[in-house]
Amino acid sequence: MSKVFMNQVGFLSDSAKRAVLDFDAPDFKVVDENGTAVFCGKTQHFGTDEISGEDTYVADFSELSKDGTFRLVAGDVTGPSFTIGSNVFDKLKKDICKCFYYLRCGDALDKKYAGVYYHKPCHLSKATVYGEDTEPVDVSGGWHDAGDYGRYSTAGAVAVAHLLYGVRFFKNLLDIEFDIPKEKCDKGNLPDILAEVKVELDFLMKMQRENGSVWHKVTTFNHAGFVMPEEDTSELFLFNVSSLATGDIAAVFALASTIYRDYDKAYADKLMERSLKAYKWLLDNPEPLLFKNAEGSNTGEYGEAEDISNRYWAACSLYEATGEDKYFRDAKELSERLISFDKQAKKKGYQGDVFTCLGWAEVAGLGSFSLILKNEKNDLADDAKARFIAEAKRLCANAKKNGFNLCMEKTDFIWGSNMELLKYLMVLTVANVISEEKEFKDTITSGIDYLLGCNSMDVSYVTGNGEKAFKNPHLRPTAVDDIEEPWPGLVSGGPNIGLQDERAQTLPKNLPAMKCYLDHVDCYSLNEITIYWNSPFVFVMGSLVSN
Ligand code: G3I
Ligand code: 9MR
Ligand code: ZN
């Protein structure tokens, strides 16, 4: 059946506006709710690209800037409903923020705010320190990581970092109100986003040991079955400390101290004290302390091959927060090691740039953010800026290779491909802050279009947003709660050529990368959700305001 693939939510009045057709239609029109044409145009044949496998025709209606609700019509095919206006993303922004509230662990939900998605308090028992004969520890609180009930320090730190760097770059994120309990501070109430992030920061503080090091994760020994969180009552374990978690925590606490200082000085001081403690542990323990799952345990591993980027991020973040030269010197030394790491990765075919990496593993890009925000002229900051611009240009060039103007290549369609995309959109967003370019903006818009339905699966990868939004996330509470609709605002992991779960393996072989997807609850390698797949979207949305 012929399809009009397009963003099913909407477009800011002044942004680029495109739809992609998988059939030959020379003309198209955009009609309003009465069926009256408000725009007529000609399509452009793009041809067949590698990632979608579709022979596509592009309908560009960027010139249409009239506010309203419309549909695109080509031949006898009518596309999904979408809107144009300055507030088209207001609901989406609230939804993607509110998901963190629903993911809260411990005794933290209130029926007044959680509504039908309320669940009873969970995971309140003290956690056994794995392999040690010491007293169990209270590490209650924070956010469940994802579709599972684990809580992982590096994943949590990175999600918090996306949200907090978002706030540093784009102050308007502080204005999003998403109906969560108010949190008092010296200045009255914390802005919602900071109140929500504080929940995770408070938990991460509990994950820090007396000596400054940080436990890598707290989970049951194996993943729970499909039960509500309060029914997952197996013993909780604090698994080993790692230099990965300790580096990320040193970094994110220093970053947080710069933001919370404006609202609550005592809290900011505590964050800084904890950051320094973690950093001291890193200096006293220069050898990498990586992480492997305990024998027989199957919860998330979040393994990394080295800890250079984690230490680099910590040094950059502490430099930004304190201005002390010793952190700059550490960052400089670590940057040399990252440069050789980058060179080796490139020899193996890696196309990106380590200094722009923003994921749960490679975090040097977050260090670059601190240097860029410091707004000081020095060689590290200049280099970071140049690398963001170069990477953004590479991404824009990639976008030209497919009909969707999508800045991804086949190799990007791995587990959590939507995050690969969102990290790229973060890079483009910051490149656009450094040096405004129409091309950067258009590539960001196309990326958002892809997530919201302009893809060959014809699906919006954000629940509750778009006529054809996915509905069956691999998410335990949603799977068992008897409520038809999942929480709105969840970002799916998205297509993954690896097809790494049993259900995914029922898909036909050799599908184009963009089609390696199934909206099925069993598909944890294609359709799970996580805190760090929502957080980069919040960052990117922060930059999207109508001029
Ligand atoms: O880095 C390699 C790359 O070099 C290679 O070309 C590519 C192709 O296979 O793979 C890349 O590695 C991938 C790795 O993520 C890094 O992104 C692996 O294939 C992929 O299996 C791995 O997936 C991770 C998955 O856990 C399994 O370990 C996801 O990123 C990560 O988001 C996910 O995290 C899980 C937690 O463990 C548990 N909680 C839920 C969460 C989301 O599913
Ligand atoms: O539900 C788990 C999901 O959150 C994880 O991302 C995934 C990989 O760690 O594992 C899922 O749990 C599966 C387990 O690993 C194997 N048995 C089936 C479980 C899902 O039903
Ligand atoms: Zn819980």
**Closest residue by Cα to residue 27 from 75, 77, 80, 82:** 75
**Closest residue by Cα to residue 544 from 426, 411, 371:** 426
User: Whose CA is closest to atom 37 on ligand 1?
Assistant: 300
Alpha-carbon 279 to chain mean position:
26
Domain membership flag for residue 296: yes
Q: Nearest ligand, CA of residue 417? A: 1
Average pLDDT over residues 131-139: 97
Look up 76 and say whether it is catalytic: no
Domain membership flag for residue 342: no
**Cβ(418)–Cβ(491) under 8 Å?**
yes
Q: What DSSP string runs through 413-482?
A: -STTHHHHHHHHHHHHHHHHHHS--HHHHHHHHHHHHHHTT-STT--BSBTTSSTTB----B-HHHHHS-
Average pLDDT over residues 13-38: 97
Look up 248 and say whether it is catalytic: no
Look up 216 and say whether it is catalytic: no
pLDDT tens column, 175-192: 999 999 999 999 899 999
Which pLDDT score is estimated for 546?
A: 59
Q: The pTM is what?
A: 0.98
pLDDT tens column, 25-36: 999 999 999 999
Domain membership flag for residue 25: no
> Residue 497, SS3?
coil
Average pLDDT over residues 383-403: 98
Domain membership flag for residue 221: yes
Question: Atom of ligand 1 at shortest distance to CA of 148?
Answer: 39
Question: Which residue in 148, 449, 458, 501 is the catalytic one?
Answer: 148
| Residue found by looking up tokens 């300055």 in the block | 86
Count the domains in the chain.
Answer: 1
Does residue 85 carry a pLDDT above 90?
Answer: yes
Domain membership flag for residue 224: yes
What is the CA(378)–ligand 2 centre distance, in A? 45
What is the CA(308)–ligand 3 centre distance, in A? 31
Which pLDDT score is estimated for 547?
A: 52
DSSP code for 348: T
CATH code for the domain in which residue 283 is found:
1.50.10.10
Q: Nearest ligand, CA of residue 232? A: 3
Which pLDDT score is estimated for 1?
A: 87
Domain membership flag for residue 26: no
Question: Atom of ligand 2 at shortest distance to CA of 301?
Answer: 9
pLDDT tens column, 464-490: 999 999 999 999 999 999 999 999 999
Does residue 545 carry a pLDDT above 80?
Answer: no
Does residue 372 carry a pLDDT above 70?
Answer: yes
The boundaries of the domain holding residue 217 are: 90-321
